[in-house]
Every structure is written in structure tokens, then in C-alpha cells.
């Protein structure tokens, strides 16, 4: 249920290949574990990449089937080509229920908590801050060796799904988010806090951060000291416009 989770980018490319070869694509729809809210900036065209191919917010609140229909009908495929698409819907689905998935969607998303925190913590991937890759707490903790000593510490190690994690074999001082409340919005307070805590602010944001954000504004807003509330106010118009477009493609209440 997140723009930079690249399964939807793979779906986009599959839809193009299917259309170009005059085949039919069937999507067996599935629950979106972050389907209960919509949040984040809309991706701007100049920042399209494999981690963001569509003008949608970071958290879009759609199933993969609904999004496939949207991609098709909005003409987002190459040369506005149309895919012969059929979606098999989920029975008795309620997007406002937070589902426990029967299998983890990724080695680095091991449980419901990590999935819930993923939209907020993935932005840290393009900063010096570890989000727990190389531990058993992936996307449930944040930390850095340069932070002042904290009660919570962790040491990333090479492991399946994280052969060379950030800060490999270094002790990271950090924050344990495993007992934080479940989110129904993106939390920006953590990345604002981490930026303000950084010793070297000029190298905090790495080259791929704007691709994750979908624009070059979020980085500048954090650098310029805007609050979470002020930043989110700048997203409001784009989200409302997206909701209007999205409503045409919803298969479930």
C-alpha cells in the first residue's frame, strides 16, 4: 500500500508487456495492510523512477487490483497503451480493517508492526540513519553510531535479506519503536528529529531521497525547519485531488 514498495512498479511493467503482446492479465486482488489511510506528497513527474512511477501519494489506500485499474484507465502506461485487465476481487473486504498477512511480504518486513511503520521509516533509507536492517527488528527501530548514548542500542549484522546493512557491525544508539501506537498517518517527527540531531546536516539527505519523497520540497522543508503540521498542510490539496480520482476505481467500500 505504499508508492515506493516496488511491487506496483513491477505490475506497471507487466501491464505494459501484456498490452504490447496482446495478452490478458488477471490480478488476484489481496488486502492492503496500510489501506486504512491516505497520506504523503503526490509524486511529481520529474521524480519518476522505479521507486515511484505514478502521481499518487506515498500511502495511497488502494488494493493492488484497484491501482491496476487506475493505472490502466488514467493512461499511465507507455504511450497510453491499454492493458486487457481483469481483477478478481476479495470477498468481504473492508479496507479499514488492519489485516494480519499470512506471510511476510518481504524478509525485511517481518510483522504487522514493521508494515505499519514502513511508510514513515523508509524515508530514512536515503539518510545515514539505520532502520534496523541486519537485525530482527527491521523497520521497527532507528539509530546511528554518532548519536549520543541512549538506553536502546543495536548492532546490524550480515544476514539473509541484508548482506551489507548500513553501519555493519557498529553499535547504533537509537530509538525502539516496537511499542509505539499503530499509525494512521505518516510520521515525520522522527525524520525531523534525526535531521536536527545530525552532526553533519549537509550530508544527511542522500541522492535518492527526493525520489522516495516524490519531489524536492520535502527535503527543503525539513532543512528550513518546518513542522510536521506545516509540511502536511502543503500536501492537502494534492491528496484531495487524488481522492477524487481514486474514487472512480474503488472496488470496495
**Each residue's pLDDT tens digit, 74-121:** 999 999 999 999 999 999 999 988 878 888 888 899 999 999 999 999
In whole angstroms, what is the distance from residue 99 CA to residue 31 CA? Answer: 7
Residue 205 is assigned to a structural domain of this protein: yes
pLDDT for 205 equals 98
Do 162 and 85 fall into the same domain? no
pLDDT at 149 over 90: no
pLDDT at 155 over 90: yes
Residues 126 and 57 reside in one and the same domain? no
pLDDT at residue number 98? 83
Instruction: Kindly tell me if the per-residue pLDDT of 253 is higher than 90.
Output: no
**Cβ pair 76, 19 in contact under 8 A:** no
- Cell numbers linked to 56: 499518487
Query: Does residue 156 surpass a pLDDT of 90?
Result: yes
Average pLDDT of the chain, as a whole number: 96
Alpha helices in the chain (DSSP H): 7-20, 64-73, 112-121, 189-197, 209-213, 217-223, 228-233, 236-246
Q: Is the pLDDT at 131 greater than 90, yes or no?
A: yes
The CATH number of residue 172's host domain is 3.90.1150
How many residues are listed for the chain in this entry? 253
Q: Rounding to the nearest 10 degrees, give the CA dihedral for residues 15, 48, 56, 193.
A: 140
Domain with 62, as residue range(s), is 7-100+236-249
Cα separation, 161 vs 21, whole angstroms: 34
User: Are 117 and 220 members of one domain?
Assistant: yes
Same structural domain, 60 and 157: no
The arithmetic mean of pLDDT across residues 13-19, rounded, is: 98
Domains of the chain: total: 2
203-245 residue pLDDT tens: 999 999 999 999 999 999 999 999 999 999 999 999 999 999 9
Asked whether residue 205 falls in the same domain as residue 125, the answer is yes
The answer to whether position 23 is within a domain reads: yes
Neighbours of 233 (CB within 10 A): 11
pLDDT of residue 226: 98
| pLDDT at residue number 184 | 96
Check residue 202 and give its pLDDT: 95
pTM: 0.94
Q: Which CATH number covers residue 20?
A: 3.40.50.12170
Amino acid at each position: 500500500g505504499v508508492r515506493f514498495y516496488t511491487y506496483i512498479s513491477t505490475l506497471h511493467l507487466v501491464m505494459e508487456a501484456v498490452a504490447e503482446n496482446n495478452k490478458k492479465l488477471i490480478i488476484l486482488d489481496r488486502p492492503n495492510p496500510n489501506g486504512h489511510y491516505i497520506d504523503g506528497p503526490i509524486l511529481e513527474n520529474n521524480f519518476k523512477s522505479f521507486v515511484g512511477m505514478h502521481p499518487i501519494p506515498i500511502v495511497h489506500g488502494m488494493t493492488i487490483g484497484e491501482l491496476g485499474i487506475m493505472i490502466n484507465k488514467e493512461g499511465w502506461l507507455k504511450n497510453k497503451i491499454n492493458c486487457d485487465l481483469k481483477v478478481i476481487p476479495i470477498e468481504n473486504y473492508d479496507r479499514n480493517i488492519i489485516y494480519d498477512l499470512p506471510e511476510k511480504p518481504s524478509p525485511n518486513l517481518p510483522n504487522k508492526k514493521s508494515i505499519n511503520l514502513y511508510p514513515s521509516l523508509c524515508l530514512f533509507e536515503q539518510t545515514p540513519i539505520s532502520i534496523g536492517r541486519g537485525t530482527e527488528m527491521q523497520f521497527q527501530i532507528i539509530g546511528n553510531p554518532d548519536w549520543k548514548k541512549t538506553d536502546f542500542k543495536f548492532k546490524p549484522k550480515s544476514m539473509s535479506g541484508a548482506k551489507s546493512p548500513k553501519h555493519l557491525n557498529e553499535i547504533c544508539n537509537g530509538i525502539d519503536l516496537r511499542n509505539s501506537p499503530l499509525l494512521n498517518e505518516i510520521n515525520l517527527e522522527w525524520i525531523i528529529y534525526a535531521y536536527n540531531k545530525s552532526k553533519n546536516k549537509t550530508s544527511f539527505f542522500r541522492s535518492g531521497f527526493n525520489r522516495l519523497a516524490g519531489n524536492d520540497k520535502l527535503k527543503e522543508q525539513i532543512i528550513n525547519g518546518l513542522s510536521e503540521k506545516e509540511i502536511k498542510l502543503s500536501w492537502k490539496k494534492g491528496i484531495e485531488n487524488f481522492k477524487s480520482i481514486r474514487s472512480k476505481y474503488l472496488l470496495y467500500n
